[in-house]
Structure 1
Amino acid sequence: MNRNETDSLHNLSEKNLHPLFSIRKNEDQIEVSLKLLNKDEIKMKDFFIIHRETGKRETFDAVRLEDGSFAFCLSLYNLFADTAKEKTKEHIEFFFSLEIRDGENWHTEEYPLSLNLFQQFDSLGLSQSTIDGNTIIPYFSRRNDIFCLAVNVPIRSTRFIRDHTIEAISVSKESLKASGRLAVKAFTVNRIDVLTVGRRSGKETVIHTEHQFEHRDEHEKHLSYYTYDFSLSLQTFTREHFVKNKQDEDVDFYLTVYLNGLYSPTVIPLAHPSEPVPKNFYRDFGISYGRSTAVLSFYFTGIQQALTLAISVYEKEIYTEYRESAPASWLMHTLYEKRNIWVIGETPLTAKGNGWHFFRYMREEHPEIETYYVLDEQSPDFAKVAAVDPEAILIFKSKKYIQTLLASRVILTTGEPYAIYPSRSPLAVEHIRAKHVLLGKNVLGLNDLSQTIGYTEKTFRNDLLLVSSKTEERYVQQTLGYPEKMIRKTGLAKFDELLSDAPSDKIQRRLLILPENRWTGAFDPRDDLKQTAKAFLSLLNDADFQAFTATHHLEVVVALPTSLKQYETAFEETDVTLVQQDQEEMIDLFKTSLLLITDADARAFDFSFLEKPVLFYQPETDERRVTNEANVRHTYLNELPGEIAVTKDSLLHLLELLANDQFNMSRKNRQKMDALFEYRDAHSNERIFKAVQTFLS
């Protein structure tokens, strides 16, 4: 049965649904039974299973039971009777066949054993099994709720949990309190815990919740709804943080859902507030121990709006001064306005992007402007910035940093301004009276940023946004919602260095692979990172790809993002040169490489700006097909300066075409690239300076 046929399953009316679908499991035996519509033109024929990876089909007789239903029994031991000792990884899907009368003739129709074809579903003993060392997990597919078995394959949380929301959430200096709701498919819940994980330390804390069954869905009777609530003592939590770790930390919150019959819990982000969160939820507060103060602030991240707690550790004296000065920040801003202080930053630990490039320009070309860069003393980029002007560094969390930030006239950042604020709370903008200019990180459009830097986003404030072309300006207006008066076409600060003279003889026969850096949390509920790593590793180990690079004398360099750090050993085992994105000057790598392959890294635009070919490699996965997460396709589908490949064969075909043209950028892609960049010069920083100056005047 193909995908087009199963697409119609959700459109069946109640009267066309069969009465009952049932699963019983006893030790290694799975009995599947169903009761059909009582119609003369329908006859049961048989059951069958399909091994998805191999296409192997096994048919089973349908046994008629006393109650009129039909059943068959599958022995899990028999699944492995003819297999080698090596474990196989596969998915097994369940189907049934009916004889349908059409006038005087009968014909066979095949259907998946899908929850969507039945009015009711029940199960008994449905559980995970281990047979001869093979792990077998029952689940229902996300797309059409088809009953399947996963053999030695981990299953995404979305197969079990259809939906989850935060129904209520509040915070005080004493505690965090929250309650929520989740819909579980075909399984029952034994326990729900909240798990916190520190991004830097990896420290985990388990918080028990009170949960209870709420009701079954009236329309989708295989869905059961559960509620939960919990309370976290922030005083105790912060004290434990100080004992183990006195560094800044971002703590992500997850739900660990223990489903009846499964060995391991299903882990999902604590996310999706069902109602707008009250503004006071975002306020920060300090908890002091000895000479230190931990500043706590909660925020929501990403499209899922997942809950995160930011902990910033200050010297108590400095934090106290900030709290005392903040209410009078309007006065300080007014008194120092004539000093015309400009503050620039990316994050406290980085100076690599547009913030760094614009800061360097300002110190070299406009020393008359009092310009500072916010940076932590522990930053690996500290020496580089100090070499430009050590007096222009605002050391993060210092007294000078606090005073200068409050007195500044304009703050220029590459992302959310509160990333370099004394508190990570979005409400910190209320104490910072300076104008905010978004320098940007990359050309906008490849990623959905509407819930982070969108014009109507309540936790983000911006006064001026910089873009590179009319195309990007249109995206900013239509998708992010910015009015035209807040947008300036200047180009990005890094473009000046990107376009600076680079002798052609320095271009090496290098194929650069650049996976996108995507933070999905300590637990990746959709397995996206694993799928990305698997796709690129499969490409690197492919014999045809290796033959292609050898034939054309191409050095393959993989710039590994921090999100794929856990797969570093696997990449090292391939015959490539491996570099770390966060340790490399990517512009230099771009200027000396011949061509680029990426999945969806926005810096692909930078590479194309050098008039060199780019290919987007996005192998199809179940998750991409369902959620259409390949944003690269729907944002710039007709304007992207490079082709998209969804299979290794199609990628190799595109590489061969490039090789036949001496790895030159095609005229079509060159035209698309021209449409994405208003200026092809090295004067973006000058335009940015003039745009900000005019805006402030």
Structure 2
Amino acid sequence: MNILNLTKKVRKRIWFKYRIACIKAFMRLSVGYIILHLFKRKLIKKRIWLVMERATEARDNGFSFFLYMRERHPDINTYYVIIKDSPDEKKLDRFKANVIHYNTYKHIFYYLAAECSISTHERGVTSPYCFHGYTGYSCIESLGWFVPAKQTIVFLQHGIIQKYLNLIDKEKQPKHLRPHLFITTAPRERDFIETMGHWPENTVVSTGLSRFDSLFDNMGKCKKQILVMPTWRKWLAANNTAAEATDIEQNRFMLSSYYKTFQHLLNSEEVANLLDIHNYQLIFYLHYEFQSYINVFSCNNPRIMIAGRNNFDVQSLLIESSILITDYSSVAFDFAYMRKPLIYYQFDQREYTEHYQEGYFKYDSDGFGPVVIQEKDLILQIKDILEKNGNVKETYLKRINEFLPPLDNRNSERIYDAILLTMSSRGVPCG
């Protein structure tokens, strides 16, 4: 929520709710801290590692790394933190003994006793209350003295950082929540983050993302499917991404070039003809921050699906699809990792670059596929890929091979080794 756009009265109410939330957090953490000391020795002996993504999810690098730990290193008590009854909780059914429900007293005890906190989010880590701040910040930031001093914080990331928008700056991080280990994939990405983000040497490491293991293991399992997955626009986001957008927010969104562009693409006769001729399906998947707008898009073509996040998994969609159409999203790196063709549809290039400063990655010279601005050029590129059996052009394959590390399924293993090395350098026993 952007507090600056709200009235003084509403801001005052929000800040009041935030303070109340922090007081409640303080009381619960205090009780947890006292009770913990009664069982501290027993809990600490368990060697607890906590893993978490968004509090409602198990579908990204956190979930992938958790699976690796349970399968390859069961001697370490690795627990996954998730809100009870979340749609993704069913994925954890076979690990019920190693699931902790978010914001429960057990979560508080285990968080305070954990030797390692591993998360895809840089601010809340695996702490209680990390997604309950009314201002977009977590209560735990105000309660820094509850963060265990010896706890090693690992930031797994969502994807490859390519621009200033996504840059995580050490100097802007609360000291008690700064990662001791920052996971990256590409050497250029690591150097960019280390230099521009002011991170100390050996904090940022290139291991590859944990979810890449699954991409490698499932290469070649494609369907005749085109995936359209654009990123979001900060200036169009709804205040509550978890619920349906308000009428005012929907009306504003429907006036945007973003909505008009993709609504027109979904109903394009040229696209429909290509899908029919080549017997393809098309999946349109909105970014997490735009899922509250899903109901404003419509299409009657049975070959085109508008996908909701509760029914579709991004990782599965990337593995299944033969062609990706995105704009500026880092999912392009996942797709390129599998050496599959993609297109950057940057219809609002001028408007987008006014809001987001470009980083080290230039789409025209570094991108893994053609960059187009107009729909007619996009359709020509789709047609070209379909007629050439989905092969990646040599120009883009060369860029992929130069930018990304060699293909393998040892990304999680490298992350695990990097965690042990970091713990050792901090004087924390590793076994």
TM-score bucket of the superposed structures, by smaller chain? 0.7 to 0.9
Asked which structure has the greater RCO (Cα within 8 Å, sep 6+), the reply is 2
Within-5 A mapping of 1:523-672: 530-562=256-288, 563-575=290-302, 576-620=304-348, 623-624=351-352, 627=354, 629=356, 631=358, 635=362, 637-672=364-399
1:194 matches 2:36: no
Within-5 A mapping of 1:497-512: 497-502=214-219, 504=220, 506-512=221-227
Within-5 A mapping of 1:262-411: 285-286=19-20, 295-296=21-22, 320-326=27-33, 337-387=44-94, 389-411=95-117
Question: 1:643 Cα deviation (Å)?
Answer: 1.6
Question: 1:381 Cα deviation (Å)?
Answer: 1.5
Contact 2:185 2:405 in 1 (8 A): yes
- Bigger Rg, which one: 1
Q: Distance in 2 between matches of 1:569 and 1:323?
A: 45
Work out which of the residue numbers 439, 447, 467 in structure 1 matches 2:156: 439
SS at match of 1:499: helix
Query: What do the CA deviations read for 1:83-109 (whole angstroms, capped 9, x no partner)?
Result: xxxxxxxxxxxxxxxxxxxxxxxxxxx
Q: Distance in 2 between matches of 1:636 and 1:337?
A: 48
Report the count of equivalent residues: 397
Write the letter of the residue equivalent to 2:317: L
Question: 1:234 Cα deviation (Å)?
Answer: 6.0
SS at match of 1:578: strand
- CA RMSD of superposed structures (Å): 3.4
Contact 2:165 2:356 in 1 (8 A): no
Contact 2:162 2:361 in 1 (8 A): no
1:475 matches 2:192: yes
Query: What do the CA deviations read for 1:335-354 (whole angstroms, capped 9, x no partner)?
Result: 86554221111122111111
TM-score using structure 1 length: 0.52
Match of 1:679 in 2: 406
> Cα 1:590–1:447, aligned 2, differ >3 Å: closer, same or farther?
farther
Contact 1:333 1:409 in 2 (8 A): no
SS at match of 1:571: coil
Within-5 A mapping of 1:505-520: 506-517=221-232, 520=237
Write the letter of the residue equivalent to 1:509: K
Question: 1:443 Cα deviation (Å)?
Answer: 1.4
> Cα 1:327–1:524, aligned 2, differ >3 Å: closer, same or farther?
farther
Q: Distance in 2 between matches of 1:474 and 1:418?
A: 25
User: Matched residues, percent identical?
Assistant: 21
Match of 1:181 in 2: none
Q: Distance in 1 between matches of 2:364 and 2:200?
A: 24
> Cα 1:688–1:622, aligned 2, differ >3 Å: closer, same or farther?
closer
Contact 1:491 1:679 in 2 (8 A): no
Contact 1:357 1:493 in 2 (8 A): yes
Question: 1:624 Cα deviation (Å)?
Answer: 3.2
Write the letter of the residue equivalent to 2:169: G
Write the letter of the residue equivalent to 1:640: G
SS at match of 1:436: strand
Match of 2:427 in 1: none
1:494 matches 2:211: yes
Match of 2:422 in 1: 695
Contact 1:333 1:406 in 2 (8 A): no
Question: 1:591 Cα deviation (Å)?
Answer: 2.0
SS at match of 1:481: coil
Q: Distance in 1 between matches of 2:227 and 2:374?
A: 18
Match of 1:485 in 2: 202
In terms of fraction of residues, the more helix-rich structure is 2
Contact 1:418 1:428 in 2 (8 A): no
Q: Distance in 2 between matches of 1:669 and 1:621?
A: 21
> Cα 1:525–1:331, aligned 2, differ >3 Å: closer, same or farther?
farther
Query: What do the CA deviations read for 1:258-316 (whole angstroms, capped 9, x no partner)?
Result: xxxxxxxxxxxxxxxxxxxxxxxxxx754xxxxxxxx249xxxxxxxxxxxxxxx88xx
Question: 1:688 Cα deviation (Å)?
Answer: 1.0
Write the letter of the residue equivalent to 2:73: H
Query: What do the CA deviations read for 1:631-658 (whole angstroms, capped 9, x no partner)?
Result: 5895555222122111112212322332
Match of 1:281 in 2: none
Question: 1:683 Cα deviation (Å)?
Answer: 1.0
Write the letter of the residue equivalent to 2:165: D
Q: Distance in 1 between matches of 2:397 and 2:356?
A: 26
Q: Distance in 2 between matches of 1:630 and 1:612?
A: 28
Question: 1:480 Cα deviation (Å)?
Answer: 2.4
In terms of fraction of residues, the more strand-rich structure is 1
Q: Distance in 2 between matches of 1:514 and 1:403?
A: 39
Query: What do the CA deviations read for 1:438-472 (whole angstroms, capped 9, x no partner)?
Result: 0111111156123xx32111335111111112122
Greater mean alpha carbon deviation, residues 582-591 or residues 519-528: 519-528
Question: 1:616 Cα deviation (Å)?
Answer: 0.9
Alignment gaps of 5+ in structure 2: 130-137, 240-247, 425-431
Work out which of the residue numbers 124, 132, 137 in structure 2 matches 1:418: 124
Q: Distance in 2 between matches of 1:633 and 1:598?
A: 19
Write the letter of the residue equivalent to 1:357: S
Write the letter of the residue equivalent to 2:7: V
Q: Distance in 1 between matches of 2:44 and 2:109?
A: 13
Contact 2:87 2:310 in 1 (8 A): no
Within-5 A mapping of 1:451-466: 453-459=168-174, 461-466=178-183
Query: What do the CA deviations read for 1:120-166 (whole angstroms, capped 9, x no partner)?
Result: xxxxxxxxxxxxxxxxxxxxxxxxxxxxxxxxxxxxxxxxxxxx997
Question: 1:380 Cα deviation (Å)?
Answer: 1.1
Alignment gaps of 5+ in structure 1: 1-163, 167-191, 196-206, 209-229, 239-283, 287-294, 298-312
Contact 2:344 2:369 in 1 (8 A): yes
> Cα 1:581–1:386, aligned 2, differ >3 Å: closer, same or farther?
same
Match of 1:189 in 2: none
